[in-house]
Amino acid sequence: MAGLNKNWLRVVPWETVVSINAALCDARNALHKPTSDGYAPAKDLWERNRLRQISLPELLQICFQCHRLAPFCNYNGNTFVTIVKTLLNDELNRLPPDQAHILRSIAGHIVAGTATDIEEKQLDSLLSVLEKI
């Protein structure tokens, strides 16, 4: 499934990712610092995809991979889940509120690394609804 191809990351330069993490760490007095092994590959992955047309499932995978690479010492999960949920806001307006809530939740679970097989299947059916609207 192609699934909503667009330039999803156009409004999210890497500096914004860093600023989001800094704000989240600051709120909890946690250390905001790049990691020695994860920062460079995550930044590279992000920049390679930033100006590309990508599908929604690809977007979720990119954010999941960046989360897994752990570019920051703290709050990697919240940083990338937040980005996906915020990017989805406009698209979700096209869905009924209950389905929008479910899609938003599944997207968050996928990026957080806690999605179940059932949720992955549910994502496909919600995307096909979204494509028809």
Partner 1 sequence: MTAAENRFLKEAVKQGLRMQHRFLAEPVLARTGKGYLKSEGVTTLQRIKASLKTSKSKRRNGRAE
Query: Which residues of the shown chain bind partner 1 in the complex (CB under 8 A)?
Result: 10-13, 15-16, 19-20, 23-25, 27-28, 30, 35, 38, 67-70, 72-79, 81-83, 85-87, 89, 96-98, 101-102, 105, 108-109, 112-114
Nearer to partner 1, 35 or 55 (CB): 35
What six digits make up the tokens of 6? Answer: 């667009």
- Minimum distance, C-beta of residue 77 to partner 1, in the bound complex (Å): 5
Nearer to partner 1, 25 or 127 (CB): 25
Vertex 128 angle, CA 122 and 130, to 5°: 100
- Minimum distance, C-beta of residue 45 to partner 1, in the bound complex (Å): 14
Query: How would you label 4-29 residue by residue, b for 16+ Cβ within 10 Å and e otherwise?
Result: beeebbeebebeebbebbeebbeeee
What six digits make up the tokens of 27? Answer: 């709120």
- Minimum distance, C-beta of residue 76 to partner 1, in the bound complex (Å): 5
- Minimum distance, C-beta of residue 84 to partner 1, in the bound complex (Å): 10
Residue owning tokens 């889940």: 81
Nearer to partner 1, 15 or 132 (CB): 15
* CA distance linking residue 119 with residue 103, whole number of Å: 9
